[in-house]
Structure 1
Amino acid sequence: MQSQSQTLEKFFKDSYTIPLYQRAYSWEKEQWGQFLADLEEVTRGGNKYYFGNVLLESLEDETHIDIIDGQQRITTILIFIRTLYNVLAERVNNEDKLGQNVSEEKFLSYLIEDFLVNRDVPKLQAVKYDNPYFQGMIITDNATMRQDPRTPSQQRIKGAKDFFIDRLKKYETPHILDLLDKVKNATVLRTEFQNKKDSVLIFELQNNRGKTLTHMERLKSYLAYQIYTYSKNRQSAERRLKNMARVFEGIYGMLYYLGNWEEDTILRFFNISYFKQGYDYNENDENYNYKRDLHDSQTGDKLEWIESYTEELRSAFMDF
């Protein structure tokens, strides 16, 4: 494990990926407003913006870096940068001057290269089932790539973009540039792990900031960790994780159409019917939840148990 302090601008010299076992984008208006309020406060007070700790996983044989903890903040920063760019670009088109040392065109292009995409490599890949939407809506802002949101997390991505655009349009250009300066120079404590199994475990143990994990998100991360633990090799684990990604992609897609039904409510109904405990089933008690059955399985059967359980779970959401 290695840790270092750096600016957010330097942090984004690299490109990052949000792995499957991470939650999808979950921040909403309360968190967006708090983020902007914090940024406003340090800008008015002339203080440095402390972004906090970000846990990463980097393996020597892989080109990307996984975000283990901090992805909600990282994703929000990039959505904010996209909206900031769009507002400034619109003003430049209206012949406003940004008062920088380079031309307006170069300043805006540097902003894209520093925070969003450089040489066709996006600075962030979202969780697999949301990534195409995230790339089109945020990274490239390409109208031909955009589509209507199909999951609750995609709705939040669009909501965050709309929220920040609405706020930034009310600000004078010098103030927007002051906010950007605070973001660029924000302090990040970057901590990297170089072992995939340990990094998944760290995510399991790490307290989440911003919003509490749902039971569904805890389930997904726990099953991913078990896959890494019991697979014979990394290639086998990655194959099984891709299959699990397709299962949860289907579940989150169905949640978009289920309206007021919450994922944890359906999950509880399913687990009550699936396990022998019946109504004694308790998500928070390992003696009375899915972990007990998984622990009781033979080592060679655990991966098959996970595959069967997740497929049945998807079928339950389909039934609802």
Structure 2
Amino acid sequence: METTLLTLSKIFTERLFRIPDYQRGYAWTEKQLKDFWSDLEQLEIGKNHYVGVLTLERVDEKSFNKWDDDKWIIKSKKYEPYYIVDGQQRLTTAIILIEAIVESLNENEELNYTSVCDIRRKYIFESKDKGISRSYMFGYEKDNPSYEFLKTKIFCENSEENYIE
């Protein structure tokens, strides 16, 4: 088993993450969220902070071929699909925080010399067909009830019934 220390940016470089059905839903309490936030507040500028283990499992072609909304990004853009085996709660919290930060900015703003559009494309979603459909970089498998919640309540996308495919 390969062990590598990576930044969040490296983790999300050309990778697509799904939380498998056997994983529990998001369950962090206020205490864990406060600990996470406290760690961020105490982090010195330019320093890294170890947040724990992230265990990933490469998704085989048979499995990702069921991901109708995401096959295009895996096959044409060569993104690698992974299941999150361990670290799902931390990664979910980080993505929710990134989404909240991006939502607080104007579209033409930059954060750390990176455009809001580029941040969204790296961590949240990539659009195809002129923005009609999206592939989320992180989420649940489509048949999991948490999929729709994450998409509509956290990422603020309209329900899938509103899309013409």
Q: Same fold (TM over 0.5)?
A: yes
Per-residue CA shift, 1:103-136, capped at 9, x if unaligned? xxxx110110111012321011226111111011
Per-residue CA shift, 1:87-116, capped at 9, x if unaligned? 123xx78xxx658656xxxx1101101110
For 1:33, the equivalent position in structure 2 comes to 34
SS at match of 2:3: strand
Structure 2: gaps of 5 or more residues: 65-80, 128-133, 161-165
Q: 1:43 deviation in Å? A: 3.1
Q: After superposition, where does 1:121-160 map in structure 2 within 5 Å?
A: 121-126=135-140, 128-139=144-155, 141-142=156-157, 144-145=158-159
For 1:113, the equivalent position in structure 2 comes to 121
| Aligned mates of 2:124, 2:110 — CA distance in 1 | 20
User: 1:116, 1:123 within 8 Å by CA — same for their partners in 2?
Assistant: yes
| Aligned mates of 1:67, 1:50 — CA distance in 2 | 18
* CA gap 1:26/1:101 in 2 versus in 1, 3 angstroms: closer
TM-score, normalization: structure 1?
0.38
| Aligned mates of 2:112, 2:19 — CA distance in 1 | 34
Structure 1: gaps of 5 or more residues: 147-320
Q: After superposition, where does 1:127-276 map in structure 2 within 5 Å?
A: 128-139=144-155, 141-142=156-157, 144-145=158-159
| Aligned mates of 2:135, 2:119 — CA distance in 1 | 14
* CA gap 1:75/1:100 in 2 versus in 1, 3 angstroms: closer
TM-score, normalization: structure 2?
0.70
* Greater fraction of residues in strand: 2
Q: 1:28 deviation in Å? A: 2.1
| Aligned mates of 1:116, 1:56 — CA distance in 2 | 18
| Aligned mates of 2:59, 2:125 — CA distance in 1 | 22
User: Which amino acid is the alignment partner of residue 94 of structure 2?
Assistant: I
User: 2:19, 2:139 within 8 Å by CA — same for their partners in 1?
Assistant: yes
Q: 1:85 aligns with which of 92, 102, 121?
A: 102
| Aligned mates of 2:82, 2:102 — CA distance in 1 | 25
List 4+ stretches of structure 1 deviating above 4 A: 97-102
For 2:23, the equivalent position in structure 1 comes to 22
* CA gap 1:99/1:126 in 2 versus in 1, 3 angstroms: closer
Q: Among all aligned residue pairs of Structure 1 and Structure 2, give the percentage whose two residues are the same amino acid.
A: 26
User: 1:16, 1:124 within 8 Å by CA — same for their partners in 2?
Assistant: yes
Q: 1:31 deviation in Å? A: 1.3
User: 1:137, 1:145 within 8 Å by CA — same for their partners in 2?
Assistant: no
Query: Which of structures 1 and 2 has the bigger CA Rg?
Result: 1
| Aligned mates of 1:51, 1:100 — CA distance in 2 | 21
| Aligned mates of 2:112, 2:138 — CA distance in 1 | 27
For 2:70, the equivalent position in structure 1 comes to none
SS at match of 1:57: strand
Q: 1:3 deviation in Å? A: 2.6
| Aligned mates of 1:47, 1:11 — CA distance in 2 | 17
User: Which amino acid is the alignment partner of residue 50 of structure 2?
Assistant: Y
| Aligned mates of 1:58, 1:114 — CA distance in 2 | 19
Q: After superposition, where does 1:272-287 map in structure 2 within 5 Å?
A: none
